[in-house]
Structure 1
Amino acid sequence: MVSPSPYSWTTIGTILKFMEAKISIICQNARSVDDVCEAYGSLARIGPNDLICSDPDVIRRMGTAKLGYRRSKFYSSFAFNPDQDTMLSTTDERIHADLKVKTAAGYSGKDVENLEQSIDRQLNAFINLIERKYLSTPTNFRPFDFAKKIQYFTLDAITDVAFGTHFGCITQDDDMYDYIKTVEQLLPAAVVAGVLPWLLTLSRSFIFKPFLPTEKDKLGFGKMIQVAKDIVTKRFGESKEVQNDMLGSFIAHGLTQEEANPETLLQVIAGTDTTAMAIRAMLLHITTSPTCYTALQAVIVEGVKNGKISSPVTDAEARAIPYLQPVIKEGLRKFPVIAGLLPKTAPEGGDIINGFSIPAGTDVSLSLITITHSKATFGPERWLEGDDNDKLRKMTLAADLVFGSGKWSCSGKNIAMMEMGKVLVELFRRFDISLVNPTKPWKSFSVGAYIQSDLFVRFTKRTH
């Protein structure tokens, strides 16, 4: 039995693959695939060997180790070095499991000394930057692009936590090493290469090798590779540095120098871009929802008044603020930061999904936006309404798919949630925030993840 399909099939596989690339890049794939799922159900065919699934129970089931699903070749396009995979790029389940074991304690923060203090240090620097350069007054209008500035924070925060030193984006008020610019340029190409694997093979051939980033580059991805390698080199050898940061934890749990070089770079990318995307989307939805804005500021003011919120707010305090956690959950539900298909390959012997027989080797992708967008409006109150615990549990399980599931769950979820809570509390306790261009608040388009810019805002000092 073959699953439903929105397309009439031909034998010209190349054309179909280009159609997939068009969905992924040109048509903003999250919305396009959502339309397919809405029209054809929770399992639909989008390529000669490709299905899209929007059933959360099926997605969680695929993430269990015993079922035998594995990552598709799509993930290979995210290897920084063709000779050395990372936890993100490997399609070998044994390598993935080994790297996950070695990095788990570091990503969870259990082995990281002064984890929260490192984040607080960069959050204070971020607040100081706003107050010093971007605070508007009745006589001085100082709009700024929050999309860019919040990524300065996430970059400096993750590098401080990961390596005990930070890039200095906040201090310099600049995109150090052109990191943000480079990722925005490379991400679309990586997604296209994932959809069209022959492009990945071609890009790594001797013809194109001279044009690839190298450690000798002064800026961009090559510079990032060199920075990561320099950091790792200091942690190995006879005079090695031993630190109780994330990288130190990885090494203590057996990560080799060869593994650490690309894994360190992955730390920066994984711990920066998606967290910044989430915070941008939350700020946008809060500022365009007067009810939510008022309620959030009210619980923050009450918490400060009652001595339940420190300065800066602690992670434990933030997680205990009644309305804040629903705002975060609703923000992640309404704008899931992962828009990519993230295909997994069906195991030997195939599978049965919702009554359909799925042959071995079939790629089954995820339409996360279909799962999370059962409600179109932004409403944090939905997480507080009623006493239907079963309904709330199902909502939570669906929203948690933003962080993956099972063996593919996000290792850095704890740090991301900590940063989101702290940032929202500190911004809305200190500032009144409004959009500069409410009819066109930002630019956002999907290339597997979202590239966002021009979220211009006006911050003024709150009067208590």
Structure 2
Amino acid sequence: MHSEVLAFAAVVALVARVLFPFLKNVSSPLRNVPGPAATRFTDLWYLWRVRRGAFEQDNIELHRKHGEIVRYGPNRYSLSSPDAQKTIYGHGAKFPKSSWYATWQNPSPSQWSLFADQSIPRHSENRRQYQSAYTMSSLVSYEPYVDECADLFSQRLQEVASAGVYADMGHWLQCYAFDVIGLITYSKRLGFLDRGEDIRGVIAALEDHLWYATFTGIFSWLHKYLFPIRNWLAGPTGTGRAYVMKFTQERIAEHEKEQTKAIPVDGIEEGKTSMDFLSKFFKKNADDPKAFTMYHLSMGCVSNMVAGSDTTAISLSAILYYLLKFPQTFETLRQEIDERQREGKIGHYITFKESQEMPYLQAVMKEALRMHPATGLPLERVVPVGGASMCDQFFPEGTIVGINSWVAHRNTSVFGPDANVFRPERWLSSDKEKLSLMDRNWMPFGLGSRTCIGRHISHLEMSKLIPMLVRDFDFSLAPHLQAADWETTNYWFVKPRDFQVKVMVRRQGL
């Protein structure tokens, strides 16, 4: 009798599991929103398409086929309207991040991270604590770190040129980005540029973390079960994030030892012109340890390292790729740089201020990031209490909505009928109204209160390195890249694969 009751209960549970999504879909005010048939009942379709590694293209195609709103899961909706963009991400919007982001941090409620935090009030308070270290005015103090890595990177490229071989520039640019963010954060490089090697497998391990967080986030309730298993399987060496945490703790310990020496009030030692993030965070902790705790300090440093290499490396790769795919653009940019050099307006190191005075350089960078933003999935948010109306459609509270930057950047009503074409000149238009519209819908670093806090650092690295590369080196794409588009894989970050380039030292005089 007992077994029959259990069997009956199991059957009822199974039927309910199957029927509930169907009944919910039939009664939902969103039942008429188009999308692949399977997405009405399961997130497995989304998982499958993300697994294929090209969801940014899938997402674009869905909107081409169905319009401004498309369904990509039972409770997941992708939008492409500029008005919806403002509603969801605008300053003051109360749309918290979806549970997809939960897998990017420890499942313990107390162990938040700035990127993944779903609590709007806590995120707002913590972001305020960090903000001063990431402002545009702070950039000048980080320039010597970028210059040091640029010099080392230039040496490596000269060696590659001497060898006469093709090099994976995606890998080299990530080595560069990793060492820059290491210097900016701790005044110490991890050493990627020394030999161009993946130090202790950190890049591979972080890519594995990317894979885990992206896929598990689609079924985020699994995270609390998989996270401890994953850490156990990683063994004593830990995951890539664990290694970065260990590196951070070592730097913190070193810094604490140095505190026995007298440190000036401004926190900058005599003879130094730069102040790294760790020093700034220690000073904030000393000034107000309750508001800016040691957890704030360590998480700020770890977040810099984990998030500060991939996005910048991808963006640098995209800029170089499009310059090489469009040789006339490369030559136009080189002419701008050479002219500045002849006029004595730039020196060996190109300062950030000098880079801002190169309009074509800025247009090239902006256009490359429009064509290839680093993230390639919808930036999911949850409709708040009371629901919201967008694109002439009411979305009940609890609905997951999002806009993919790849979709937004291909909007012809914003960027023109040639939105699918790389054309930096669109950013040099004299039409201020058009430029303003494009600026408002340009979102490679997100939008609103959740905009990437490190975007200015990334912009600093790109603005200084790209003109140096164009001025000092010639490049040639490998034959397979000349004949076709490059290959990328989208597991949240849209990373280039096998970006093979031949490097040659530029020998002609200016």
TM-score, normalising length from structure 2? 0.83
Instruction: State the partner residue of 1:5.
Output: 34
Is 2:109 the counterpart of 1:72? no
**1:322–1:110: structure 2 CA closer, same or farther, 3 Å change rule?**
closer
Q: Quick check: 2:380–2:403 contact (8 Å CA) kept in 1?
A: yes
Identity score, percent: 23
| Equivalent residue in structure 1 for 2:433, among 390, 393, 402 | 390
**1:339–1:218: structure 2 CA closer, same or farther, 3 Å change rule?**
closer
| Equivalent residue in structure 2 for 1:411, among 423, 442, 453 | 453
Instruction: State the partner residue of 1:453.
Output: 497
Instruction: State the partner residue of 1:98.
Output: 125
Q: How does 1:185-204 map to 2 (within 5 A)?
A: 185-204=208-227
Q: Deviations over 1:142-171 (max 9, x none)?
A: 221111111111011111111111111112
Is 2:153 the counterpart of 1:126? yes
**1:212–1:419: structure 2 CA closer, same or farther, 3 Å change rule?**
same
Q: Deviations over 1:207-257 (max 9, x none)?
A: 5552246xx417844322211222234456994786632233334344311
Q: Deviations over 1:403-460 (max 9, x none)?
A: 1111111111211111111111000100111112322564311111123231111111
3-state SS of the aligned residue for 1:434?
Answer: strand
Kindly name which structure, 1 or 2, has the bigger radius of gyration based on alpha carbons.
2
3-state SS of the aligned residue for 1:311?
Answer: coil
Alpha-carbon distance, 1:372 to partner: 0.7
| Equivalent residue in structure 1 for 2:233, among 197, 211, 214 | 211
Query: Aligned partners of 1:315, 1:260: CA distance in 2, in Å?
Result: 27
Query: Aligned partners of 2:444, 2:37: CA distance in 1, in Å?
Result: 32
Q: Deviations over 1:195-217 (max 9, x none)?
A: 11133122035x5552246xx41
Alpha-carbon distance, 1:263 to partner: 3.0
**1:48–1:81: structure 2 CA closer, same or farther, 3 Å change rule?**
closer
Is 2:281 the counterpart of 1:250? yes
Query: Aligned partners of 2:220, 2:458: CA distance in 1, in Å?
Result: 31
Q: Quick check: 1:178–1:219 contact (8 Å CA) kept in 2?
A: no
Query: Aligned partners of 1:388, 1:112: CA distance in 2, in Å?
Result: 30
Amino acid in structure 2 at the alignment position of 1:392: L
Instruction: State the partner residue of 1:147.
Output: 170
3-state SS of the aligned residue for 1:403?
Answer: coil
Amino acid in structure 1 at the alignment position of 2:95: Y
Query: Aligned partners of 1:177, 1:105: CA distance in 2, in Å?
Result: 32
**1:191–1:304: structure 2 CA closer, same or farther, 3 Å change rule?**
same
Instruction: State the partner residue of 1:421.
Output: 463
Q: Quick check: 1:29–1:448 contact (8 Å CA) kept in 2?
A: no
Q: Quick check: 1:5–1:46 contact (8 Å CA) kept in 2?
A: no
Instruction: State the partner residue of 2:472.
Output: 430
What is the aligned length?
452
Query: Aligned partners of 1:9, 1:124: CA distance in 2, in Å?
Result: 52
**1:48–1:459: structure 2 CA closer, same or farther, 3 Å change rule?**
same
Instruction: State the partner residue of 2:344.
Output: 307
Q: How does 1:212-291 map to 2 (within 5 A)?
A: 212=234, 216-217=236-237, 220-235=240-255, 239=259, 244-253=275-284, 254-291=291-328
**1:427–1:238: structure 2 CA closer, same or farther, 3 Å change rule?**
closer
Query: Aligned partners of 2:296, 2:460: CA distance in 1, in Å?
Result: 27
**1:365–1:219: structure 2 CA closer, same or farther, 3 Å change rule?**
closer
3-state SS of the aligned residue for 2:70?
Answer: strand
* Structure with greater helix percent: 2
Q: How does 1:141-180 map to 2 (within 5 A)?
A: 141-180=164-203
Query: Aligned partners of 1:27, 1:153: CA distance in 2, in Å?
Result: 25
Q: Quick check: 2:373–2:405 contact (8 Å CA) kept in 1?
A: yes
Alpha-carbon distance, 1:10 to partner: 8.2
Is 2:80 the counterpart of 1:62? no
| Equivalent residue in structure 2 for 1:41, among 67, 76, 82 | 67
Q: Quick check: 1:111–1:245 contact (8 Å CA) kept in 2?
A: no
Q: Where does the alignment leave 5 or more consecutive residues of structure 1 unmatched?
A: none
3-state SS of the aligned residue for 2:113?
Answer: coil
**1:68–1:114: structure 2 CA closer, same or farther, 3 Å change rule?**
closer
**1:161–1:80: structure 2 CA closer, same or farther, 3 Å change rule?**
farther
Q: Quick check: 1:346–1:362 contact (8 Å CA) kept in 2?
A: yes
| Equivalent residue in structure 2 for 1:337, among 355, 374, 394 | 374
**1:218–1:9: structure 2 CA closer, same or farther, 3 Å change rule?**
closer
Q: Where does the alignment leave 5 or more consecutive residues of structure 2 unmatched?
A: 1-28, 262-266, 269-274, 285-290, 413-418
Instruction: State the partner residue of 2:424.
Output: 380
Alpha-carbon distance, 1:265 to partner: 1.5
3-state SS of the aligned residue for 2:359?
Answer: coil
Q: Quick check: 1:54–1:368 contact (8 Å CA) kept in 2?
A: no
Q: Quick check: 1:144–1:456 contact (8 Å CA) kept in 2?
A: yes
Amino acid in structure 2 at the alignment position of 1:101: R
Query: Aligned partners of 1:445, 1:312: CA distance in 2, in Å?
Result: 34
Query: Aligned partners of 2:279, 2:136: CA distance in 1, in Å?
Result: 11
